[in-house]
Structure 1
Amino acid sequence: MDEGRTVLARRSVLTRLQRTRTRFNRWTTGGTALVLVVANVLLCWTMVHVSSVPFSAYLPIAVLSGLFLPPKWLALVDATILLTGVFIVLYRHGTVPLWGAYAVLLTIMVIMFWVAASRARLGVQGNLGESMLVDLRDRLRTQGELPELPPGWGAELSVLSAYGDSFSGDFLVTSREGDVLELALVDVSGKGIAAGTRSLLLSGAFGGLLGSLPYEQFLSASNGYLLRQQWDEGFASAAHAMIDLSTGEYSLASAGHPPPVKFSAGSGRWQVLEGDEGPVLGVAEAVTFPRVTGRLGRGDALLLYTDGVIEVRNRDLRDGIDRMLGTAERMISRGFEGMAAKMCAAARAGETDDRAAVLVWRR
């Protein structure tokens, strides 16, 4: 009984806080509109008494109103601007340049009203839309942060988006439970901002699957999730790795992804871990994803990467892999740190494609 009362009390407090926040937002919005109306009137008065003030001084008020006010308040400010603007044009004898400036101001106001109305339909008025996108981008990056590894292990991730966009179609999700580390490097169809929305959704879904079910079932579960979405362009490739940090044993599986690469300290060479692989995710039902197993010894490393790192137009992917491994062999004398970033930066695709690489090594 006491627990139930406590829960009800907490809900009541949260409800009151939400109502208070809503009232505060309404008062803030109304206050902003009032300030802009007053600023517009003062500007009109100034332009009447100071002839050197240009008519273009109306533009900042029109733009700021469109950025920060919802449509109903924006209409009030715009009406004030239109009336005072006509008054100033007539007061200054209505020359052709003044009417032209008035037409430009009217055009900008229409555009800003359309932007405000579009945001209102989405429920992200003012600058909330930009704040939401920034928050989603940061959450995507946080989702792919590598966990802290025990002594004797190191890891590095590099993700570069096409044309320097804030969002990338390549992302990493990780999970560590005790000595078991799981990594899933995913390449969503499309690139840059076009693939950003799907990356945001899939990173959350795949991050929830990773570590919550046996690692052998991860790719099958991810494939089923993508099939249920029924997207027109809903496929993705993925490489999944499970590494036992106590023994160095690993298990790898691929879903239409470039083959992983292993560095062997004994031979000092990189080796492509080729084997059977499953199809890309989101295309066919009831498919299997064969796994490759092995062990990382002291000084060994495991590299997962997306096709943007190796893809070269009009060339076979094998040529791209050979080029990447040649770059890696030249870097190995300086150690593994910084290698993933240099591989992505040296990719032949350059900024025309998303690139991602994750490197895990045992010291």
Structure 2
Amino acid sequence: MTQELRPPWDENPDDLYEHAPCGYLTTLPDGTIVRVNQTFLSWTGYTRGDLVGHRRFRDLLTPGGQIYHETHYAPLLRMQDEVHELAFDVVCSDGRQLPTLVNSVLARDEAGQPRTIRTTVFNATERRQYEKELLLARQVAEASERRVRVLQQIVADLAAAPTEAEVAEAVVRAPESAFGAASSSIYLVDTERDTIHAVASTDPTTGNWDDMPRSSPRAVARVAERGDLHVIGSVAEAREHFPDLVDTMRRSGRNTVVLLPLTTGPADEQSGAETLGVLAFSFKGERTLTDGELRVVRLLGQQAGQALDRARLYDDLHHREERAVFLAGITRALDEVHRLLPRARRLIERLAPAVADWAEVRLQVGTPPIVESSGGPRPDEEMLSRRLGKVAASGEPWFPAEDDHLDCSVLPLTARGLVLGTLALRLPPDRQGAAAERAFLIELADRAGLALENARLYEQERQIAHTLQRSLLAGEMPGGDPRFAVETHYQPAAQELEVGGDWFDAFLISPDKLALVVGDVVGRGIEAATTMGQLRSAVRALASNEAGPALLIEGLDRFVERVESARMATVAYVEIDLAGGEVTFSCAGHLPPLLQEPAGAPEYLLQGRSAALGSRAGNRVRTEHRRKLPAGSRLLLYTDGLIERRSRSIEKGFELLAREYARRRDAPLPGLAAGLADTLVGREHADDVCMICVTLGTEERLERSIGADRMQIALLRADLRAWLAAHDVDVECGEAVVLACSEAVANAIEHGYRDDPFGMIDVVATVTDEAVEVRVTDRGTWRGPVTDVARGRGLQLIRESMDQVLFDRTDGTTVTMRRGRREAS
């Protein structure tokens, strides 16, 4: 039977708890301490009375420890019922912080509810010190390894740097990482200009950053000339050998300066070594470089010099390649625009600031001359004009010398032996005077001159084509009849030199019948233009009171049988009975007319359709459709250039046209067609655009909404004047109403919408047998009463022109003006 082993002394459980090698705490679920052993009290300096029942465990922790207790310790303990080896700093009674490791166990009752928390606390002071020593040793090892890596990285960076700028950036940061230098700067020798210039620095405030001649007595220039390493260890030494460094060393507090020549070979091989630059770096206080460090410094100078030599060759090759790519790109860019002025503008946009700080093209090909410039500041105008005149007269380029006051190059723009004008450029300082740059500019001017001459010839030929095109279009539109008004617009293709086949015409068949026609002949050129003129003449010859649109299209079919070039032409033909307000139309393969009645949305007239003229397929039965139109209706006929685009469907084009047409419901007829073309087509378009728009009858009530733009007033005046004349308002009364309305609108723009250029003004005019009434409404903000704000000449004119003037500020500002009618004699 095994005997029970007993220790040779008595084990007291209470004594084991109190004097255990670790601290024990028992706390309630909220952290309140209910029991603590003597070990913990001895470590922290607290008494049992200080803690038990008075403090929570988290109250003994540092602020950071309290946050960690709240965000990590307590949640983990509730989830897991235990946590292990959590590091906390316990604040002792005397304010010391005791590093500890904490283990806690959460005890629960039979119902599973938290009852107590038992915590074991271990003193981690020695462990923390050990960790600090390990960390320090690791940092020392890492610093040593980092220095090795830095030296390796410098060599790798120099080997990988393809350009002079990248080599300079790698070299200028080497002293700081390799030797602990406080700052460093790098200077490069420019043999073509015989100068030395600073290119990079880790502290730009410590050096002289202006360029210097290679013959300068300054320290950097002398080291570059001699090609040997200099280490200046004190201000006194600098005063003796390099006086220009004294002020910099005193101001910056750097007592040791190293001047390292960057050479293409070892310094002792004078015959083959070339100094390409100087690396200057300095240290705070005094710093003695060991022989090993000096060897590394010299090696750095050789490696950097060789890298610079290689980079300069690369830079020269890359620069030549860039210039070739730039010349090819600018040639393509100029070819993309065909007009002379846009081409000159694009040339300047490509040159400044990509190549020049400032550039100007001056062309003596028009009156006045074409001048386009960009960048700045502009050179002295008098000297520039004098130089431009000499270059234009001689045809020889001019480049500035160092002592010239005019710091820009001037080159002639020549083509086919003629001087078209001049190109003036101011290059950045680092590019001026270089032979390669001069050759580049001469080639650039040659290409630009040829491109601009081609654009001039293109415009000349295009103008001839457009003149021919317009001469073949319809002559003067019918007018002077209050029952209708006609507006037309023709816009030739932006990049076409040949005349097109789009055309329109409007004429009176009889005093009460108006004919409108829009057509499109297949193809371009003289043949298409001739065919267009023949078709227009055929339409006029076939039109009669008895024929009607369907019979007229049938007659055109017979005409096409004799004129083959007119086959597949499309035509939209409309006849309007001015007395009865009835429209009859027929479309032979053409886009449907667009109708806007005084009320409702725009409507495409899709009836009366058949195939193109002379078509051998499709529906060749010519039909027509009749429709009654109320007064104030507008009908638009147009060609496909208005809506067809390769980038979208034809349905989208119809939708956009209808939307824009509806938006201009109340716009004056003059300018309506041109406005539609500007919105839907723009200036750079690939097809001709023809439009003809007719307004039928006279609106009983004139209602217009215009933007807060004074340019709109002239259109409103024309619209109002025509409307008053259509209602037989005598000239004197009409002109007075137009004047008063113009002044009221001007006041609304100036005072109501002075800070809102997007404001809208509503104008409503009505006429009765007795009087004309005009109401002008804006929703802007007037500063003070209207009669005070607008009490100038405008308000006086309104009151002198009208019999009655009323102001209403209920909803915005409304000016109601009334004038009695006097019948025309």
Could you tell me the TM-score, scaled by structure 2's length? Answer: 0.26
Q: Which amino acid counterpart does residue 596 of structure 2 have in structure 1? A: F
2: CA distance between counterparts of 1:145 and 1:279?
30
* 256-265 or 198-207: bigger deviation: 198-207
Q: Which residue of 2 aligns with 1:163?
A: 494
Q: Which amino acid counterpart does residue 482 of structure 2 have in structure 1? A: P
Q: Which residue of 2 aligns with 1:188?
A: 521
Cα pair 1:188 1:198 within 8 Å, conserved: yes
Instruction: Summarize the Cα distance change of 1:183–1:300 in structure 2 as closer, same or farther, 3 Å threshold.
Output: same
2: CA distance between counterparts of 1:276 and 1:139?
31
Q: Which residue of 1 aligns with 2:576?
A: 243
Map 1:43-82 to 2 at 5 A. Answer: none
Q: Which residue of 1 aligns with 2:606?
A: 274
Cα pair 1:179 1:246 within 8 Å, conserved: yes
1: CA distance between counterparts of 2:595 and 2:481?
20
Task: Report Cα offsets for 1:4-41 as digits up to 9, x if no partner.
Answer: xxxxxxxxxxxxxxxxxxxxxxxxxxxxxxxxxxxxxx
SS in 2 for 1:324: helix
SS in 2 for 1:253: strand
Map 1:141-160 to 2 at 5 A. Answer: 141=473, 143-160=474-491
- Identity across the alignment (%): 26
2: CA distance between counterparts of 1:275 and 1:212?
21
Task: Report Cα offsets for 1:181-208 as digits up to 9, x if no partner.
Answer: 1111111112466732322332233333
Task: Report Cα offsets for 1:183-236 as digits up to 9, x if no partner.
Answer: 1111111246673232233223333323486123111111221122233x7321
| Higher percent of residues as helix | 1
SS in 1 for 2:692: strand
Map 1:202-213 to 2 at 5 A. Answer: 202-211=535-544
2: CA distance between counterparts of 1:134 and 1:329?
31
Task: Report Cα offsets for 1:79-125 as digits up to 9, x if no partner.
Answer: xxxxxxxxxxxxxxxxxxxxxxxxxxxxxxxxxxxxxxxxxxxxxxx
Cα pair 2:465 2:498 within 8 Å, conserved: no
Q: Which residue of 2 aligns with 1:112?
A: none
| Higher percent of residues as strand | 2
Task: Report Cα offsets for 1:274-313 as digits up to 9, x if no partner.
Answer: 2251100122399322212112212211111111111121
Instruction: Summarize the Cα distance change of 1:196–1:347 in structure 2 as closer, same or farther, 3 Å threshold.
Output: farther
Aligned-residue offset at 1:360: 0.7
Aligned partner (choices 548, 553, 556) of residue 215 of structure 1: 548
**Is it true that 1:328 corresponds to 2:661 in the alignment?**
yes
Structure of greater relative contact order (alpha carbons < 8 Å, 6+ residues apart): 1
1: CA distance between counterparts of 2:574 and 2:467?
28
**Ranges in structure 1 where 5+ consecutive residues have no aligned partner:** 1-58, 61-131
Aligned partner (choices 639, 660, 682) of residue 306 of structure 1: 639
Cα pair 2:503 2:690 within 8 Å, conserved: yes
Cα pair 2:465 2:499 within 8 Å, conserved: no
Q: Which residue of 1 aligns with 2:762?
A: none
Task: Report Cα offsets for 1:120-155 as digits up to 9, x if no partner.
Answer: xxxxxxxxxxxx9899655423x3532125113211
Aligned partner (choices 583, 589, 592) of residue 256 of structure 1: 589
1: CA distance between counterparts of 2:688 and 2:467?
21
Instruction: Summarize the Cα distance change of 1:212–1:275 in structure 2 as closer, same or farther, 3 Å threshold.
Output: closer
Q: Which residue of 2 aligns with 1:292?
A: 625
Cα pair 2:598 2:633 within 8 Å, conserved: yes
SS in 1 for 2:680: coil
Q: Number of aligned residue pairs: give it.
A: 239
Cα pair 1:159 1:344 within 8 Å, conserved: no
2: CA distance between counterparts of 1:203 and 1:284?
22
2: CA distance between counterparts of 1:166 and 1:147?
29
Cα pair 1:174 1:207 within 8 Å, conserved: no
Aligned partner (choices 567, 575, 578) of residue 234 of structure 1: 567
Q: Which residue of 2 aligns with 1:128?
A: none
Q: Which amino acid counterpart does residue 516 of structure 2 have in structure 1? A: L
Task: Report Cα offsets for 1:221-254 as digits up to 9, x if no partner.
Answer: 11221122233x7321010000011121000110
Aligned-residue offset at 1:171: 0.8
Instruction: Summarize the Cα distance change of 1:325–1:192 in structure 2 as closer, same or farther, 3 Å threshold.
Output: farther
Q: Which residue of 1 aligns with 2:689?
A: 355
RMSD across aligned positions (CA): 3.6
Aligned-residue offset at 1:324: 0.8
Instruction: Summarize the Cα distance change of 1:144–1:183 in structure 2 as closer, same or farther, 3 Å threshold.
Output: farther
1: CA distance between counterparts of 2:681 and 2:588?
23
Instruction: Summarize the Cα distance change of 1:159–1:359 in structure 2 as closer, same or farther, 3 Å threshold.
Output: same
Could you tell me the TM-score, scaled by structure 1's length? Answer: 0.57
Cα pair 2:472 2:529 within 8 Å, conserved: no
2: CA distance between counterparts of 1:149 and 1:166?
35
